[in-house]
Structure 1
Amino acid sequence: MAMNTSTTTTAAVRAQTTRYPGWRAHGQTDPSWWIDGHLGGRSLAELLRQRDIGSLFRFLKSRGWSQAAIAAATGTTENQVRAVIQGRQRVTSYDVLERIAERLDIPRGLMGLAYEK
């Protein structure tokens, strides 16, 4: 039975959840990461203020997330995740930044995004 991309991504997320018990996909991250987390000696809160999504994705990878899991959680493709991590693509679209913040449960203010009324 052939698997489509959606089924493959869902299977990857399930595999990650099993392999890393503290890991939860689809916006159920550890809220303390965004304030207390560090990547390469830099505060994750500062990286979020700079909207450095490449570093955010690298931070998630350091926590055991696969590129497939990051893509599934943020509504992007694995190719886009790879390009952002490698610095070949920057996330500048406000809509995409909002979606990433929402799906990863990052407080909007940390990324300089307006709160909705």
Structure 2
Amino acid sequence: MAMNARTATTALSESQSGSQFAGLPGWRAHNRADPDWWINEHFEGRSLAEVLRQRDISSLFRFLKSRGWSQAAVAAATGTTENQVRAVIQGRQRVTSYDVLERIAERLDIPRGLMGLAYVP
């Protein structure tokens, strides 16, 4: 799926690997986000669970930056480019593609159900 500026949606590239960013601030030893964040943390007055439920990827990326992740680290972890991360953070692009949302959830160890991507009892 290609980026469409009019609809502000994007299918982000999978060309980068997170392994090259091991050791960057905010990364755990095994190159993953802390899974407890998605349930227990808050950002800008909202729980991260709410941010994820609303699929607010801009807030998700801003949260990661607040935890010390660079845009390069966010891009690598989610299979996107720094330019795409910047556009999402700035609100110039929205992530609405199921495949991209699924990839972000998988690569950040976000339980899919928190983003409405799977049935959760």
TM-score normalised by the shorter chain: which range applies?
A: 0.7 to 0.9
Q: Choose the corresponding residue for 2:71, options 48, 67, 71.
A: 67
**Larger RCO (alpha carbons 8 Å, 6+ apart):** 2
Does residue 56 of the first structure (1) align with residue 66 of the second (2)?
A: no
Displacement of 1:29 in angstroms is 1.5
Q: Which has the larger radius of gyration?
A: 1
Which runs of no fewer than 5 residues in structure 1 stay unpaired? none
Residue deviations 1:40-73 (CA, integer Å, cap 9, x gap): 1111100100000000000000000000000000
Identical columns (%) = 80
Superposed displacement of residue 27, structure 1: 6.0
Question: Offset of 1:24 from its aligned partner?
Answer: 2.8
| 95 and 65 in structure 1: CA distance in 2 versus 1, 3 angstrom threshold | same
Is the partner of 1:91 in helix, strand or coil? coil
C-alpha distance in structure 1 between counterparts of 2:88 and 2:58, whole Å: 5
Task: State the partner residue of 1:33.
Answer: 37
Which aligned runs of 4 or more in structure 1 are off by greater than 6 angstroms? Answer: none
TM normalised by structure 1 equals 0.80
**Would the alpha carbon gap of residues 49 and 113 (structure 1) be closer, same or farther in structure 2, given more than 3 Å must change?**
same
Q: How many residues align?
A: 104
Alignment of 1:42 onto 2:57: no
1:66-95 C-alpha deviation (Å, 9 max, x unpaired)? 000000000000000000000000000000
Q: Secondary structure at 1:79's aligned position in 2?
A: helix
Between the aligned partners of 1:76 and 1:105, the Cα distance in structure 2 is: 16
Q: RMSD of aligned C-alpha atoms?
A: 2.4
Instruction: Identify, as 1 or 2, the structure richer in helix.
Output: 1
